[in-house]
Amino acid sequence: MEPVVKVENLSKKFGEFIATNAISFEVNKGEIFGFLGANGAGKTTAMRMLSGLLTPSSGQAFVAGFDVATQAELVKKNIGYMSQKFSLYEDLTIQENIEFYGGIYGLSRQEIKDRSKGIVDKFQLASVKNKLVKTIPLGWKQKLAFALALIHKPKVVFLDEPTGGVDPITRRQFWDLIYEAANDGVTIFITTHYMDEAEYCDRVSIMVDGLIKALGTPSELKKSFDVDSMDAVFQLLARGTANK
């Protein structure tokens, strides 16, 4: 199968500081790829490079078949992005947010109409679709942000700690949405702090100090480190660097 995300020796330097140090990996179509690491390990930098927000210092990366360094605009057409801030316009209604982002992605009037109906039906938003976003609960904002990240049917969607600050039940429901999207063939690239979420991923990479220290399915990783949870894997890797 052709990989949807292909990263070869990707590096980013900020002056003397090396945020991402020659990382390489591939992600396949429809895969849920977990990107783990402590704060400052370089995972946000890597994700920003893959989504065209930062230019790599060296190395190459292809997203949906396009080079992130030279074809950033084409990359942007084919990806969705959702950050922990759920960057919705709080002073616009749900409907207006849908129309706005749909429009920005160049969807036609009819497409916007169809998809907004789809979103409203799927998330049962009909009663609140004309309410300002700031008045709806956090869990709904999160779902809406995810739906908007998918509105233009991207090949890959980047989720930057999308479940921060929401309760476990809502988180569980959110993962159902992720599975559903993956089943539809969307590749999911997700960073998270929650190790239980790491267990839900198809494959996981763990970054420490700008390097990928581990890469594999959760069961492979647990086996190779001889522990019974992803949390333990992570602790081992993080402590390992602390001792150096």
Partner 1 sequence: MRNIFILVRKEFLQIFRNRQLLPFMTVLPVIQVILLTFAANYEIKNLRLGIWDLDQSTSAQQLIHKFTGAKFFQEKALISNQKKADELLMKDEVDLVLVIPKDFEKAIHSSNNPAIQFQINALNNAKAGIVQNYASAITQDFLNEKRGNSTLLASPKIIPITNYWYNPTLNYKTIMLPGIVAEVMTLIIILICALNVVREREIGTIEQLNVTPLKKHEFILGKLIPFWVIGHFIFWAGIALGKIFFNIPMVGSLGLLELFLAIFLFVPLGIGLFISTAVETQQQALFTSFFFIILFILMCGLFTPVETMPDWAQYINQLNPLKYFVEVNRLILLKGSGLKEIYPFIAKMIIYGIGINLLAIWRFKKTN
Name the site residues for partner 1 (rule: CB under 8 A): 51-53, 73, 76-77, 79, 81, 83, 85, 87-92, 96, 100-101, 103-106, 132, 158
Round to whole Å and give the CA distance between 6 and 123. 33
**How many residues can be counted in the chain?**
244
Q: How far is the CB of 101 from partner 1 (least distance, A)?
A: 8
Q: How far is the CB of 130 from partner 1 (least distance, A)?
A: 12
Give the nearer residue to partner 1 in terms of CB position, either 54 or 204: 54
Q: Are 63 and 139 in contact (CB under 8 A)?
A: no
The one-letter code for the residue type at 119 is I
Q: How far is the CB of 82 from partner 1 (least distance, A)?
A: 8
Give the nearer residue to partner 1 in terms of CB position, either 53 or 215: 53
Give the nearer residue to partner 1 in terms of CB position, either 51 or 163: 51
Q: How far is the CB of 48 from partner 1 (least distance, A)?
A: 9
Give the nearer residue to partner 1 in terms of CB position, either 27 or 195: 27
Give the nearer residue to partner 1 in terms of CB position, either 21 or 87: 87
Q: How far is the CB of 152 from partner 1 (least distance, A)?
A: 9
Round to whole Å and give the CA distance between 94 and 57. 39
Q: How far is the CB of 182 from partner 1 (least distance, A)?
A: 20
Round to whole Å and give the CA distance between 181 and 166. 20
Give the nearer residue to partner 1 in terms of CB position, either 20 or 51: 51
Strand blocks (E) in 89-168: 156-160
Round to whole Å and give the CA distance between 239 and 102. 45
Q: Are 36 and 201 in contact (CB under 8 A)?
A: no
Q: CA of 226: how far to CAs of 35, 92, 219, in Å?
A: 21, 50, 10
Nearest one of 111, 84, 79 to 98, comparing CA atoms: 111
Give the nearer residue to partner 1 in terms of CB position, either 90 or 167: 90
The one-letter code for the residue type at 34 is G
Q: How far is the CB of 169 from partner 1 (least distance, A)?
A: 25
Q: Are 190 and 33 in contact (CB under 8 A)?
A: yes
